[in-house]
Structure formats: structure tokens, C-alpha cells
Structure 1
Amino acid sequence: MSRQWVVFRVAEQEYALGVDQVVEVLRMASLTPVAESPAGFAGILNLRGQAVPVLDLVQRLAAIRKPADPDQAIVIVAHQGRLVGLVVDAVDEVVDLDDSSIRPPDRLLGDRTPYFGVARWDQRVLLLLDLDRLIIGDALSIESITS
């Protein structure tokens, strides 16, 4: 079976999310900072009147702190009934991946990796993100910040 994936870059690595998880992709927008927010929390996005928490995947996945860049993008995803934004360096394309091309991550990495699979596509390696693993650690913090 084949599924579509949204491919994006964080630092020099390519990641992907299922197209069914992505609500929309925005150019970098002004975010409202939140005092004493957890590491990797970029701020709050006013999305058509709705307060959307935004995580900085550059900081979370690449451990790089850098100021917001107008060339970056915000990927809006649906997670457990709410919207969450993810700051990425660039959104590249939507690709079709056959399920047979997806392999689990190396067991040496353990269950703490924020991705559930690795896929080879067009001579590239894509890390397929697991939103639960990526966001769950911040879920309570996000809830308290946006409530």
C-alpha cells in the first residue's frame, strides 16, 4: 500500500509526516513568546483567531538554537484533537511511499526517537516522524500555556 508524505528539512536532515496529519503549511509568521516556556517551544501563533502552540523542530531535533528566519515554515498538524505548529527549515514536497520501503529505526536508538520509521526515497533517507513521541513530552506544558 502507498501513502503520501509531506517532506521537510530540519538542519540538513529530511523528515516526513503523513499528509493526513498535516492541516496546512505556512510561511514563518510572528509568534508570541511565552515566558518560562519549555525548551523547544517557539511561541503561540494566532491562526485566524485561534491560539496555536508552536514547537521549534530545529531546536528539538537538531539541537540548534537560531533566531526565526523568514525562509522557515510552520507546518500545522492535527494532534489529539488540537492544532500544533512545527517550525521547520523548509517544506520540500509531497511524495508517495510504499509501505514496503519503510523500515523501523535501529534498535540501538531505543524508543526515545521521535520517529517510527526510516524510508529510502529517490536516493534519499527520510525519517518518518511519530507525532505522539514528538509532542507527548510537551503535551502538558502546551496545555498549561494555551489554556
Structure 2
Amino acid sequence: MTPDHNAQSTAEVELLSFRLGEQEYSVDIMSVREIRSWTRATPLPHAPAHIRGVINLRGTVLPVVDLSTRLGMPPVAGDARNVIIVVQVSNQTAGLLVDAVSDILALPRNVLQPPPDLAADAARSFVQALTIIEGRMIRVLDLRAVLPFKKSEAA
């Protein structure tokens, strides 16, 4: 059992990092399907505030989540500088509207630290790990918590 544990702690994870305002976040690159330039989303009536609307992705209706609003920050402007990261977790696909994509990071799993337990921080439940790279604090998002259409979520 010990060799498996060691292999897991030294295994690398690849993350796609991106900016929301002055903060840097990342997602597991294995969940990223594509990165698209900004496309104006069609609003949906009665949708939660963090759902910017839907876009047509090659014939598929794709919900677009304003990730900044979802994490409790001011909304992303939604202009030509912004991008939509198309992600898929299980059978859920959605676009994450972010300010800009920063980098692709390959890190050993053992440098990822659990976030501190701060009950007052609403975004904490969306962050599964933290790491510091070249003086930058990078938050690793839990996409299962971020994506809007979980059957267990009563929205």
C-alpha cells in the first residue's frame, strides 16, 4: 500500500490557471474541453445571478457561468478581453467566463494544500486546494461545486 501512496503524492497534476480580477485560480486541465473567445450569452429568465446565459457551441446549448459572480466577487465585464473556458465534469458541461487565461501549470500533487477552514468565506467551498508558485497564490477550484446544474442543488 505504501508504494501507491508515494506514487500518488509525487504524481503531477496539470492545471489551467486564469485570472479573476487580481486573483488567480485554476482548474484541472483534464476537465477543460476548450478555450473560446468572448461570446455574448443569451440571458435566461429566472436564472441565478451567476448564470450569464447560454451560448451556441456547435449546435449545443451551453450555460455560461460568470465565475467571478459565482465566487462572490464583482461580475466579469464581458468584453473582447475575456474568455470562456469550456469545462466538463461527469456529464455536466458549462462555460466559465473569466478575465484571462494565465498559464498551464504542471505541479507535484504534494504541493497542493487544503484551504483553511474559514466558515465566513463563501467561496471556500469552491476551493479544493491552494498552492504558491513564484510568489503567486493560486486557488484550485472544485468544479463539482462550481458548476450550476447539479441535481442536488436547489437553485
Structure 2-normalised TM-score? 0.83
Report the residue type matching 2:132 in the other structure: R
Contact residue 66 and residue 75 of structure 2 kept, 8 A: no
Q: Name structure 2 gaps, 5 residues minimum.
A: 1-10
CA 1:115/1:105 → structure 2, altered by over 3 Å: closer, same or farther?
A: same
Counterparts of 1:53 and 1:108, CA distance in 2: 30
Amino acid at match of 2:61: A
**Deviations along 1:26-54, whole A, 9 cap, x unmatched?**
11012111112111001101001110111
String of CA shifts for 1:84-134, please: whole Å, max 9, x gaps: 110000001101111111000002247952011001112211100001111
Q: Matches of 2:75 and 2:13 in 1, distance apart?
A: 33
Instruction: Identify the range of structure 1 (105-114 vs 55-64) with the bigger mean alpha-carbon deviation.
Output: 105-114
Task: Choose 1 or 2 for highest CA Rg.
Answer: 2
For the Cα contact (< 8 Å) 1:10–1:61, is it kept in 2?
A: no
| Secondary structure of the structure 2 residue equivalent to 1:113 | helix
The question of 1:58 aligning with 2:68 is answered yes
Partner residue in 2 for 1:32: 42
The 1:95–1:66 alpha-carbon spacing in structure 2 relative to 1, beyond 3 Å, is closer
Q: Distance in 1 between matches of 2:72 and 2:22?
A: 9
Q: 1:125 aligns with which of 133, 137, 141?
A: 137
Deviation at 1:139, TM superposition (A): 2.9
Quick one: which of 106, 110, 114 aligns to 2:126? 114
Residue identity opposite 2:71 in structure 1: L
Ranges in structure 1 where 5+ consecutive residues have no aligned partner: none
Q: So what's the TM-score if we normalise by structure 1?
A: 0.87
Opposite residue 130 of structure 1, the aligned amino acid is D
2:139 is paired with a residue of what secondary structure?
strand
Number of the residue aligned with 1:104:
114
Alignment-mate amino acid for residue 60 of structure 1: R
| Distance in 1 separating the partners of 2:113 and 2:77 | 34
| Counterpart AA for 1:2 | E
Q: Is the 8 A contact 1:24 1:77 kept in 2?
A: yes
Please say if residues 6 and 16 of structure 1, whose CA atoms lie closer than 8 Å, have aligned partners that are also in contact. yes
* Residue 66 of structure 1, CA deviation: 5.0
For the 8 Å contact 1:11–1:62, the answer to whether it is kept is no
